[in-house]
Amino acid sequence: MQEFLNTQNFTIYFLILIVIKFSIETYLKIRNLSSIKENSSEIPERFKNVVTKEEYTKSINYNSDRLKFSIVTSLFSVGVLLMFTLGGLLNSLTEVVIGVTSSNVIGAVLLGLLLIIISEIIELPIAIYSTFVIEERHGFNKTTKKTFVTDIFKSLLVSGVLTSVLYATVIYILDNLGDLWWLYAFAAVFVLQAIIFFLYPVLIMPLFNKFEPLDNEEFKKPIEKLLEKVKFQSKGLFVMDASLRSTHGNAFFTGFGKNKRIVFFDTLLKTINPDEMEAILGHELGHYKLGHVRKMLISSLVFGFVGFYLLSEILKSDNFFISHGLDNLTVYSKFLLFYLVLGSYTFFTKPFAASLSRKREFAADDFSFQFTDGEHMISGLLKLSKDNASNLTPDPLYSSYYYSHPPIAERVRSIEQKLEK
């Protein structure tokens, strides 16, 4: 492997992959825009009794605006990546850090914090436009300027603390534990992530939202019966003040072990009825009962293990990092550059991961169908789709590459076929 790493011109590979990734993704977005436009004149047959012409027009305009903006932001992201790498920004920041400290651990923390702060500043115009122009234009945004600014500082604080601990731990292990450092670092990162995942619902999420116990008996009773039926234990049922920022509705699980919680957006409770909520929750329970969470954890372990091994080999090759614009070759700058460019070398895995995710979503729908009413599940999904202005006619190639969930029409058709049996 070292012979390969030391003899290849990775600058060319890097640029070619960036162009291929951007070209593929832009092509798919244009296809999706065309699909939306081609189907804009008439509401799809299955949705004629679900959405009004006004609601369908809103969905078309909203998704078109988001797609057009995503093409711009993708090009912007390419520019930022090239600026950090071949443009020499990461190299310059490393030089500044070297002038401040000779410690690799402290250097890793400082460089990591600089990257977080600079990235936040660079991406700020995108966040502002997305929130206060696109989401505002289509009636979804409820975020005030005060909340927006407060969220930025809270996010910087949380990400700064967590990444500092992560980087410091990995670099300390790399410096002190010999050739098998990558194995110890992999284990340490796994433990840290498990701790964060466990504490996330009780320490981090409350920094951004308020969580109140679900006290609406009309919703609470059928949910508790369903939990008992499928033998699922949780820390509790909570309502999150999502309406503070948006009118979008959702429900999710968070945490694991004794900290498992079921969270409903307050906006969702205003949209669907208790029977529909039960069916939607049945889908989420399906992910747990079918072992999807465990399988995802195992997959992340495998990829993490392989990733750290590859990193240990690549760190031995100065050529790889010099080819990506890094001359100040400290262990921490090499570590951070590796993760900056990793996405450009692994983007082709995205459609495979999305395909696997969609299969699991269908399986979770099947699980819910066994324990709840299929008609209520359909009506709940359709309401969610309508209220979130989901794209009702996505291009098949686009959805196969990007969608982690099957298009709403496919999910509804699958449930209807089960009802007909």
The answer to whether residues 226 and 282 touch, using CB atoms and an 8 Å cutoff, is: yes
Residues 6+ apart with CB under 8 A from 117: 156
The answer to whether residues 362 and 106 touch, using CB atoms and an 8 Å cutoff, is: no
**Greatest C-alpha distance within the chain:** 72
Spatial separation of the C-alpha atoms in residues 282 and 53, rounded to whole Å: 31
Q: Map residue 409 onto helix, strand or coil.
A: helix
Q: Nearest to residue 410, comparing CAs of 48, 400, 59, 420? A: 400
DSSP 324: T
Report, as residue numbers or ranges, the catalytic residues: 284, 365
Q: Nearest to residue 236, comparing CAs of 218, 249, 248, 220? A: 220
Per the structure block, which two tokens stand in for 221? 């009773």
Spatial separation of the C-alpha atoms in residues 234 and 284, rounded to whole Å: 13
For the chain, helix (H) and strand (E) counts, in that order, are 18, 4
Per the structure block, which two tokens stand in for 246? 């948006």
